Structure 1
């Protein structure tokens, strides 16, 4: 067998044929029209002034500010808010794959794509919700999905795409050493190019919650804290204080002494219903967990 002869896996000589749509595309190469039959004449494909070429000189690497914000979060010196603020100005990548919409025979007798759609790759989160994976670098995307095409976009544009796909979360760098999840309220704020405060730090939401305690005689207080799902871990096992998929917010109910468990749960149920009907709370909180506590009994006064 000559050095230039192709071989099959079995070692026997075999003639290889290109797929029809590739062969047809090669036959058209160098023609006066593009693959859609549109003339090249008069079309300006240079980068200057062309909004399609915002990333002509893109190196495919992680945005430096985003890289610094993620590193600070992993080190325990940063916050979810800082990552969100860095994303607001960062170029990231979405993953798209080609899907054949319609095929047929071309002018040269080959089967070729008549119509092909570019589809966003989406994920299903452990809780069943839809999520959009995005990537800080080309290398991270290709390591996760070798056949996907990276499309550079500003992160707010990716968030808009997630909303249009009915996704509830952005998942930054799935499969990488550190994966950061931006939950629904943060994703919506990013899409609208607004600053974001996590629910567990939001003073306006804290005021909404504290109002609920005044209407329940059995309730001493309600305290807000980060939910157990806010934190996450790197692939190597290090704990990170942010970037998890949820639960996002923890409400700790403290009851006056003498309230039994049934009465406490009825109180929580009433408050939960009122909070769910509050638009500010519903939009600002992604996921919720509840803890019930009894207030310590007051010690008797020795001088009484």
Structure 2
């Protein structure tokens, strides 16, 4: 997970659109706002599911340049990563920049644009206390219409970890749950004699592509000796 708290704004030429007052007045979806305001540990999956059918608004900025009147705003973090700021409603857009004009699309289309343009993420309501970053595997899932789950509920992630751990001689059981300071907490039940092997397996898991992609905050492994 990357720190998008600090950075600068920039712009990119893009096609223009505007909200039709007959269809969309630019108001916030109450259900979307409620999910954005909730604790992320418990609401992230519901928020992702809601975004799959939500309208968001990008920012189009005036630019005094020959043959270019308006450009789409981007955000650049201090480490050079680029994201597209999008907003849940016109009020959030205007609180970020009074000069910005709205470009409404559904969240899936914005996710697809983000990947096509080689950007690193979407930031929803960047000027608010409830801002939400969509990047990495979640961004890919949204763009491609795939289901996203917490790592500890992702069957492919669980199967991968269980298979590696159960290959250690002496392991009787593997328990995987949501971590506190990481994505996953893995408890391996076996004799003390496999402690070094557990350390080696933890490194193998940490460097696995599926873990780096779907559980970027990593996994903590613990050995619990059998009585």
State the TM bucket, normalised to the shorter chain. 0.7 to 0.9
Q: Is the 8 A contact 1:169 1:181 kept in 2?
A: yes
Structure with greater Cα Rg: 1
- Tell me: higher relative CO, structure 1 or 2? Use CA pairs within 8 A at least 6 residues apart: 2
Q: 1:225 maps to what in 2?
A: 178
Q: 1:204 maps to what in 2?
A: 156
Q: Is 2:56 the partner of 1:92?
A: yes
Shift of 1:115: 3.6
| Structure with the higher fraction of residues in strand conformation | 2
Q: CA RMSD in A?
A: 3.2
Q: Structure 1's 227 and 123: CA in aligned 2 closer, same or farther, altered over 3 A?
A: farther
Shift of 1:190: 1.5
Q: Structure 1's 169 and 115: CA in aligned 2 closer, same or farther, altered over 3 A?
A: closer
Q: Structure 1's 260 and 212: CA in aligned 2 closer, same or farther, altered over 3 A?
A: closer
- The correspondence of residues 11-90 of structure 1 with structure 2, limited to 5 A, is 55-57=20-22, 58-71=24-37, 73-74=38-39, 79-90=43-54
The TM-score normalised by the length of structure 2 is: 0.74
3-state SS of paired residue (2:98) = coil
Shift of 1:253: 4.8
Shift of 1:265: 2.8
- The correspondence of residues 244-283 of structure 1 with structure 2, limited to 5 A, is 249-254=183-188, 256-259=190-193, 263-273=197-207, 275-276=208-209, 281=210
Q: Is 2:83 the partner of 1:149?
A: no
Shift of 1:69: 3.3
Q: Distance in 1 between matches of 2:175 and 2:121?
A: 28
3-state SS of paired residue (2:26) = coil
Q: Distance in 2 between matches of 1:84 and 1:121?
A: 22
Q: Distance in 1 between matches of 2:81 and 2:215?
A: 12
| Structure with the higher fraction of residues in helix conformation | 2
The TM-score normalised by the length of structure 1 is: 0.57
3-state SS of paired residue (1:150) = strand
Q: Structure 1's 150 and 117: CA in aligned 2 closer, same or farther, altered over 3 A?
A: closer
Q: Structure 1's 282 and 97: CA in aligned 2 closer, same or farther, altered over 3 A?
A: farther
Q: Distance in 1 between matches of 2:107 and 2:39?
A: 20
Q: Distance in 1 between matches of 2:79 and 2:225?
A: 36
Aligned residues: 209
Q: Distance in 2 between matches of 1:135 and 1:215?
A: 47
Q: Structure 1's 67 and 271: CA in aligned 2 closer, same or farther, altered over 3 A?
A: closer
